[in-house]
Structure 1
Amino acid sequence: CPLPVLLLTYCISICMHPLFFPLLFILDTSRNVKASPETAEIFFQKLRNKCEFTILVTLKQTHLNSGVILSIHHLDHRYLELESSGHRNEIRLHYRSGSHRSHTEVFPYILADDKWHRLSLAISASHLILHVDCNKIYERVVEKPFMDLPLGTTFWLGQRNTAHGYFKGIMQDVQLLVCFLPSFSCPTCNDFHGLVQKIMELQDILAKTSAKLSQAEQRMNKLDQCYCERTCTMKGTTYREFESWTDGCKNCTCMNGTVQCEALVCPLADCPLNSALTYVDGKCCKECQSVCVFEGRTYFEGQRETVYSGSGDCVLFECKDHKMQRIPKGICPALSCPESQQIPLSHSCCKVCKGHDFCTEGHNCMEHSVCRNLEDRAVCSCRDGFRALREDNAYCEDIDECAEGRHYCRENTMCVNTPGSFMCVCKTGYIRIDDYSCTEHDECVTNQHNCDENALCFNTVGGHNCVCKPGYTGNGTICKAFCKDGCRNGGACIASNVCACPQGFTGPSCETDIDECSDGFVQCDSRANCINLPGWYHCECRDGYHDNGMFSPSGESCEDIDECGTGRHSCANDTVCFNLDGGYDCRCPHGKNCTGDCIHEGKIKHNGQIWVLENDRCSVCSCQNGYVMCRRMVCDCQNPTVDLFCCPECDPRLSSQCLHQSGEFSYNSGDSWIQNCQQCRCLQGEVDCWPLPCPEVDCEFSMLPENECCPRCVSDPCQADTIRNDITKTCLDETNVVRFTGSSWIKHGTECTLCQCKNGHVCCSVDPQCLQEL
Structure 2
Amino acid sequence: MIATDQNLIKSTNHEGDVLDLIPLLKRTSSPGIQYITGPNNITPAIRLTDSQRVVILPDAVSAKAQRFLRENIDITFLATLKQEIGDSGSILSLSTGINRILEIESSGRRNEVRFYYTHDQKIQIETFPYKLADNHWHKLALSLSATDLTLFVDCEQIYRRVILTLDTNFKADKISLFLGQRNREYAHFRGALQDVKIVTKSHGYLIQCPHQDTSCPTCAQHQHLQKMYEKMQSDIQDLNKKLLQAEERLLKVEQSPCHYCIYNDTMKKEGERWSPNKCTVCICKNTSVICKHRDCSVVDCRNPVYRDCCKPASDNCCIMDNNEYYNPGEKFQKSNCFYCACDNASIVCNQTSCPELNCSKDSRIYIDGECCPICNGTNFCALDHNCHVNATCVNLTTRYICQCKSGFHGNGTHCKGVTVDCSPNKEDEKPCHVNAVCTQIGHTYRCKCKDGYRGNGRWCQPVCESECKNGGRCIAPNKCECRYGYVGKYCENDINECKLGIDACQGQSECVNIPGWYYCRCKQGYDSSWHQHSMYGLQCADLNECLGEGDGHTCHPSTKCYNTDGSYECRCKYKDDCSHGCIFEGYYHENNSRWISEIDVCSDCSCKRGVVKCHQRECDCSKRKINYSCCPHCAEKRSCPHQEHSLEMSHGQKWVYECQTCECLSGEVDCWPLECPKLMCSDVVKMSGDCCPRCIDDDPCHENDQYSVINAGLIPSLCRYHGRKYRHNDHWNLHGDKCTTCKCKRGHICCSFNQTCTALERSP
Which TM-score applies when normalising by structure 1? 0.27
Which TM-score applies when normalising by structure 2? 0.27
Greater C-alpha radius of gyration: 2
